[in-house]
Amino acid sequence: MSRERTASTGLAVALALGLALPAAAQPAPDTLAAVRERGVVTCGVTPSTLGFAQPDASGVWRGIDVDYCRAVAAAVLGDANKVRFVTPTTATRFAVLQSGEIDILLRTTTWTMGREATLGAAFVGVSMYDGQGFMVKRSSNISTLRQLDGSTICLLPGTTTETITAEYFRGHGMRFTPLAVPTIEALREAFLADRCNVYTLDLSALAAFRASRGAEADQLVLLPDVISKEPLGPAVRQGDWRWFNIVRWTHYAMLTAEELGVTSANADAAAASTNPDVQRLLGRTGDLGQGIGLDNAWAARIVAQVGNYGEVWERNIAPIGIARGVNALWTQGGLHYAPPMR
């Protein structure tokens, strides 16, 4: 048998058995083609976090992560409603992304080097600058992190939160007992049932939980200390760089639209603007859309059907009591900065 035939046979056997292939031998995914054939964009989201991803009373998903998914659908399929949501656990989310079950991971996930280096994820940008915080009950009379020495802390396993908590307490000569709870719903229940006296997660998730408690929200206290950087953002599979560019520039299109003052309410009128940046954003001039495999009206549909970044924030995050702060545009003292669309 020739060497060429032996190599072909080996490759076929490996593919049939689902064995790992060298990176150079693995076929590159074509997510855009799969999405168009399927007719929906499938996104992995957290199952029940107010402001990020949660079905309303009518079963309609709402939240900033939901809106990001809808924005991609508007760009790619022309209809922001052509979406499907999957709710992987913290432990399975990257495997679900790699399997192709979802097209985008939007599950309040922190962008880290380790996740890109070892899990095959490519983060397209930062949709929210966040940080790890701590929640206690008002009745505990705890007001500082130093008072948490010896506490039992509820946390999610397999997250950056778990590692950072251990590093922080060890570095400050403090002790704690971790109570690892596998799902966010069970984590909240454990905290409310006093199985732990401290609940730690990203500040945004803690604020969302407190807001969801309604009249009882005042009984929950967020400590003022923030012990980490948690840049949250959409992730896609490495290797499919056309899809990466589509999701990345969907994010930047929403930021650019806010910077230029283009909103869902004035998008049609803005098409008549003589501002060259507005003209390029809305596809009235140039061929930027074609460069990433879309038509030139892709960003105009995002703004018209979903809104700019500021609209998405005001609709989803402002109601849970989080100020823009570092999530403001760079022109307003924040960190959000979109590369030029030209």
Q: Is residue 107 part of a domain?
A: yes
Same domain, 247 and 119: yes
Q: Which domain holds residue 146?
A: 130-230
- The three-state secondary structure class of 107 is coil
Q: Mean pLDDT, to the nearest integer, of 118-131? A: 97
- CATH code, domain with 175: 3.40.190.10
Angle at 80 between CA 75 and CA 81, to 5 degrees: 145
What's residue 16's pLDDT?
A: 36
Same domain, 93 and 225: no
Number of continuous H segments (helices) and E segments (strands) in the chain = 14, 14
Last residue of a domain, one of 230, 252, 272: 230
What CA–CA distance (Å, rounded) separates 38 from 97? 17
Q: Is residue 21 part of a domain?
A: no
DSSP assignments along 250-276, one per residue = HHHHHHHHHHHT--TTTHHHHTT---H
From residue 185, give the alpha-carbon distance in Å to each of 83, 89, 189, 228, 231.
Answer: 24, 11, 6, 23, 23
Which residue, chain included where needed, has tokens 């004035």?
Answer: 266
Same domain, 241 and 94: yes
280-314 confidence digits (pLDDT tens): 999 999 999 999 999 999 999 999 999 999 999 99
What's residue 233's pLDDT?
A: 97
Give the pTM.
0.86
Last residue of a domain, one of 204, 230, 256: 230
254-273 confidence digits (pLDDT tens): 999 999 999 999 999 998 99
Q: Is residue 158 part of a domain?
A: yes
What's residue 22's pLDDT?
A: 41
What CA–CA distance (Å, rounded) separates 28 from 66? 27
Maximum separation of any 2 CA atoms in the chain, in Å? 77
Average pLDDT over the chain reads 91
What's residue 47's pLDDT?
A: 83
171-230 confidence digits (pLDDT tens): 999 999 999 998 888 999 999 999 999 999 999 999 999 999 999 999 999 999 999 999
- The domain total for the chain is 2
What CA–CA distance (Å, rounded) separates 90 from 61? 19
Worst-scoring range by mean pLDDT, 7-11, 49-53, 65-69, 310-314?
A: 7-11
Same domain, 59 and 198: no
Same domain, 191 and 327: no
Q: Is residue 168 part of a domain?
A: yes
Contacts of 29 (CB under 8 A, 6+ apart): 100, 237, 239, 240, 243
For residue 217, give both structure tokens.
């929200």
Same domain, 60 and 108: yes
Same domain, 217 and 293: no
Same domain, 238 and 322: yes
What CA–CA distance (Å, rounded) separates 229 from 132? 7
Same domain, 139 and 114: no
pLDDT of 244 higher than 90: yes
Q: Which residues of 51-75 are buried (b: 16+ CB within 10 A; e: fewer)?
A: bbbbeeeeeebbbbbbbbbbbbbbb
Same domain, 276 and 215: no
Find residue 200's DSSP bridge partners.
134
Q: Is residue 9 part of a domain?
A: no
Same domain, 94 and 241: yes
- Provide the CA 45 distance to its chain's centre, in angstroms: 8
Last residue of a domain, one of 195, 230, 265: 230
Q: Is residue 151 part of a domain?
A: yes
54-55/61-62 β-pairing:
antiparallel
H helices present in 55-105, as ranges: 64-77, 93-99
Same domain, 51 and 74: yes
Q: Is residue 23 part of a domain?
A: no
Q: Is residue 51 part of a domain?
A: yes
Cβ–Cβ under 8 Å, residues 138 and 223: no
